[in-house]
Amino acid sequence: MLNFHALHLNPHLHPDWTLILSAALPASLFVLALAVCLLSYALRRGHRTHRAELARIFEQLDLLRFDAQQAAAAAATPARASNGEGSADRELLAAVMAREPQLASGAGDYYAAAQLAARGSSAAEIADRCGIVNGEARVLVALQQARSRRAAH
């Protein structure tokens, strides 16, 4: 006949799971709390990084808007000085309409500018070589730098 007392006395045959689980519970809770703390830290750090990148992008967009306003003012000023107000608007509209096909077919210019930004060219060099506004070139360079930083992490 099988002796049940011998089985309970021999810890190798029947381990006491209540002791094992009571010892493992605090360790697993500690590991869980540590994982939550690390996740919280990573989320806060990522949020700060994204906020800083967005601030740089919006700064570049503001500079782009300022450059566009300056270019429009420079294009409109000589026309207004020589002609009346209505003809200046027509000339500005004609210039925009003349440039529109170039913009539609000029996706290669932006592609080339993006390639130059990826190679590390400066914004001024990109603007000169591709015929885009300096602010647009700065935005491309900033986006490429953000991509590079994201790829490095």
Predicted pLDDT of residue 13? 65
Report phi then psi at 3, rounded to 5: -95, 110
pTM of the entire structure?
Answer: 0.36
Tokens in use for 39?
């996740």
Average pLDDT, integer, range 119-133: 87
Q: Measured between alpha carbons, how far is residue 49 from residues 3, 56, 144 in Å?
A: 67, 11, 15
Predicted pLDDT of residue 1? 45
Q: Where does the pLDDT of residue 104 fall: very low under 50, low under 70, confident under 90, or very high at 90 and above?
A: very low
Tell me how many helices (H) and strands (E) the chain has: 6, 0
Q: Where does the pLDDT of residue 74 fall: very low under 50, low under 70, confident under 90, or very high at 90 and above?
A: confident
Predicted pLDDT of residue 35? 96
| pLDDT tops 90 at residue 12 | no
Q: Where does the pLDDT of residue 105 fall: very low under 50, low under 70, confident under 90, or very high at 90 and above?
A: very low
Predicted pLDDT of residue 77? 66
Is residue 135 within 8 A of residue 67, CB to CB? The reply is yes
Place of tokens 């602010």: 135
Neighbouring residues of 91: CB distance < 8 A, sequence distance ≥ 6: 79, 83
**Length of the chain in terms of residues written:** 153
User: Which is more confidently placed, 94 or 68?
Assistant: 68
